[in-house]
Structure formats: structure tokens, C-alpha cells
Amino acid sequence: MAWFVVVVAIGDAGDLTGESSRMLAVFGAAVILWITEAIPLAATSIGVILAEILLISDEAVVGLSDGYDAPAYQSFFATLAHPVLMLFLGGFVLADAAAKYRLDRNLAGVLLRPFGRSPRALVGGLMAITATLSMFMSNTATTAAMMAVVLPVAAGLDAADPLRVSLVLSVPVAANVGGLGTPVGSPPNAIALGRLSDEGIDVNFLEWMLLGVPVAIVALASAWAILVRRYPAGIDQVELSIGGAFDRSRDAMLLYVVFGATVLGWITEPFHGIPSSIVGFTPVVLLLATKVVGVDDLRHISWHVLWLVGGGIALGNGVTATGLDDWLVGLFDWSSLSTLLLLAALAALSIVMSTLISNSATANLVVPIGVGLATSAAIDLDPLLAGVVIAMSCSLAMALPVSTPPNAVAYATGNVATRDLAIVGLLVGAIGLVLVVLVAPPIWEAVGLL
């Protein structure tokens, strides 16, 4: 709080105008509160919106500089209904409905059967299914559903069998990696898309998949190789007994149709031209109107995540509107750094911060800086590349129980130790960073995705 007051009091100072000084105070306060979690993360996000309205909007309670083009206060409120949030809301409602009618667990049970009883194949199958589900559902919901499938199998193994660790650990790792693949796979993806959209750079659902799915596949295969090598099974075959009887009620059948149509609509966006946010919002209306999802079910939606993303988008808007991004860029001679080195620094900062605090909070802080750097004339860095690399790096942080909710769920089962999470998480994260910084960008550029 003292920091906030001091920076606000600075006012105009060289290139730092009164508005950018106040925005710097808001940004710094958000950094401190998101890192310390002195108040809930969502509270910080909506606090950012209120602070921006009171300090830098056309309804500011303080004086504004002559010539400053103040954003309308409604624009900051509007971030809570940003198209990217509507896309995420659709994903949350579909995930909640899938859990309600056990679509996720039954689908996992059916899809696991072809992998047979080989431990190595079973771990690979679990990871492939988990990652695929995590692309279209929240990674937390996916982890909870897959743990219901995995834990009975793990419980039937000898307590000393490393396969127990491999099976349980494979789920959060795959859920985290799978989140790279689609815009709804992880909140950092939404934050990056929102910031890029505000810069006039629109990325549709399929384009993000073309960027993210290949990276996710390679990272997932690497993670599988690490798990089966580090935790070799003590048995040759696993007795797999899981249910796969789908609910055939009227409501469940409607859900299956709406779920499938929504995913198809997202993937085919370049062909029909309907924005993915509209496609994602449609099932919210349909499922509520047909009573497949009730008002009580809406209480299970992760509204705090939507507010967290909305606050991050508002933070990026404020940084740009006040010129704070230009001031930050001017602090250092960024042009002396190579594009590769700058990209690597942004990726490393993202994964280190996300290991210690929420990946959504990290994306809220780093995305505006990274995209701001990329849009400056002094830096030869594609803003799309900067946003994508930062978002993916945030999702690759999985070395501690607190790094992601899926890690916490796995740790809470008692089958996975902190050491297991740290070793596997660091290895997968390192491989992921090499992919998104060194390997993928030249390929993305060669095929015209950048």
C-alpha cells in the first residue's frame, strides 16, 4: 500500500506522465497482491478494474493531463464480458455438464480399453486421453475426472510398485500439457488472446490449435518417456476394471449433441466464420434453456477464474492506454538483445513465476509487458509470438504442488511426493521451453502461422 501511495504521488516525471505514474502504481500493487495472495486473486483483478476507473478513465476522481485521451470507464467494466471470457464461460459450462452426466469418466473408460493391460501402454493412454480432454475442459475438472479412473487401479497395486506414482503423476502432467492445445485449455491462453485482440491481432480457435497441439504432442511424448523410465512397473499386466456405460437419458443425449457440435464449431471456425466466442456462448444458452444445466449448476462454475482473466485484460488495456508500456520499453536498450534472447527471457520469467504463483496471475503480469515490448518500434519481435510463448510457458510450470490445481489434486492422493513433482515437472518444463522458444517458432514461421 505504501508503494502504491508513493508512486501515485510522483506524478509527472520525465516521460512518466501523471496517468502512466498512476497506472504504474496499479500495476505494482497487482504484482504484490498476486504474488503474496494477501487478498484473493480475483479480488485483486476486480480491484485493478476499479482503480483504473477511478484513476485513468474519463470518470477519474483525479485530474487528467491535457491531451490525454482517457478511455471510457465502460471499457474497463466491459473486460468482464470480453469475448474471450465468453469463450471460457462456454468451456466451463460444458465441463460442468460433462461431469454432471459422467461423460468425462465414461469416455475415459471407453477410450482406455484399446490400450490393453500393458503398464507402459496404459500410462500412455491415460496421458493421451487426459491431454485431449484438457484441451476442451478445465485442467482441474479433467484431473478430478481422471483421478476417479486412476485411483482404483493404483489402489490395486503393491504399495512399493513405482507404477502407482507413474499412473497418478501422469494425469496432472498431461492435463497441464494438454492445456497448451486450445484457447480454452488454460487461462493464460485466454489472457494472451485478449491482449492480442486488443492490439488488433485476432487468432481463431483452429489457428491456436495449429500452434499449440504439435507442441503439446511432443511435450506429452517426452513426459511419457520420462515417467515410464523413471518409474518402471513392477508387474507385466494391469487389471483394468472401469465403467463406460453412457447415460442415455434425454438430458444426457442433448449434452452429447451440444458438446460435439460446440467442439466441431470451434475447430471449423475458419470455414463458417462465426467467432469462437459466439460458438462457445451458444451452449450456455442451449443447455440452460433445455434444463440440461440448471441454475444450481451455475454455482459450480469457476467464476473467480473469469474475473481473474478479466482483470488481466483490463490491466493490459490500462498499460497501453496510459503509455506505460512505452515508458517500460524505454527503461532499457532492448534493441541490444537478440530476438531469441528476449523471447527466452520472457519464457523463463513466465515459467519461474508460474511455478511459485498462479499461472493466470503470472500471465496477467507478463503478457502486457511482453506484447508491449513486441509492439514497440525498437524491438524486432512478433507480438503474436510473444503472447503465445508467454502463455505456453505459464502452462508448462508444474514443478511444485502449488504450481497448478492438477498438481495439488495429485499430491493430495498421497501417492506422489513433492520430489516426484519437482523432478518430473522441471524436466517436462525444460523440454517445453526448448520447444516453444527454439524449435516451434521457426516451424510456425515457415508454415505461415506467424
Tell me the three cell numbers of residue 17: 506522465
Q: What is the mean pLDDT of residues 82-90?
A: 88
Q: What is the mean pLDDT of residues 101-114?
A: 77
Q: Residue 339 — very low, low, confident or very high, per pLDDT cuts 50/70/90?
A: confident
| Alpha carbon distance 266, 188 (integer Å) | 18
pLDDT for 427 equals 96
**In this model, does residue 402 exceed pLDDT 70?**
yes
pLDDT for 407 equals 86
Q: Residues 149-159: pLDDT tens digits?
A: 788 788 878 88
- Give the DSSP letter string of 328-392: HHTTS-GGGS-HHHHHHHHHHHHHHHHHHS-HHHHHHHHHHHHHHHHHSTT----HHHHHHHHHH
pLDDT for 244 equals 58
Q: Residue 9 — very low, low, confident or very high, per pLDDT cuts 50/70/90?
A: very low
Q: Which of 5-9, 33-37, 215-219 has the highest mean pLDDT?
A: 215-219
Q: Residue 212 — very low, low, confident or very high, per pLDDT cuts 50/70/90?
A: very high
Tell me the three cell numbers of residue 205: 480457435
Q: Is 338 exposed, middle or buried (0-12, 13-18, 19+ CB in 10 A)?
A: exposed
Q: What are phi and psi of 254, to 5 degrees?
A: -60, -40
Q: Residue 89's closest CA among 327, 277, 272? A: 277
| Alpha carbon distance 165, 377 (integer Å) | 50
Report the SS3 class of residue 416.
Answer: coil
Q: What are phi and psi of 209, to 5 degrees?
A: -60, -40
**In this model, does residue 416 exceed pLDDT 70?**
yes
Calculate the average pLDDT of the chain. 87
**In this model, does residue 141 exceed pLDDT 80?**
no
Q: Residues 181-198: pLDDT tens digits?
A: 999 888 899 999 999 998
Q: Residues 17-51: pLDDT tens digits?
A: 788 889 988 988 888 888 787 888 889 989 999 99
| Alpha carbon distance 390, 397 (integer Å) | 11
Which residue shows C-alpha cell 465441463? 95
Could you give the percent of the chain with pLDDT greater than 90?
41
For the entire predicted model, the pTM comes to 0.84
Least confident of 238-252, 306-320, 433-447: 238-252
**In this model, does residue 6 exceed pLDDT 60?**
no
**In this model, does residue 78 exceed pLDDT 90?**
yes
Burial state string for 107-129 with b = 16 or more CB within 10 A and e = fewer than 16: bbbebbeebeeebbebbbbbbbb
Q: Residues 226-248: pLDDT tens digits?
A: 999 999 988 878 776 665 577 88
Q: What is the mean pLDDT of residues 195-212?
A: 92
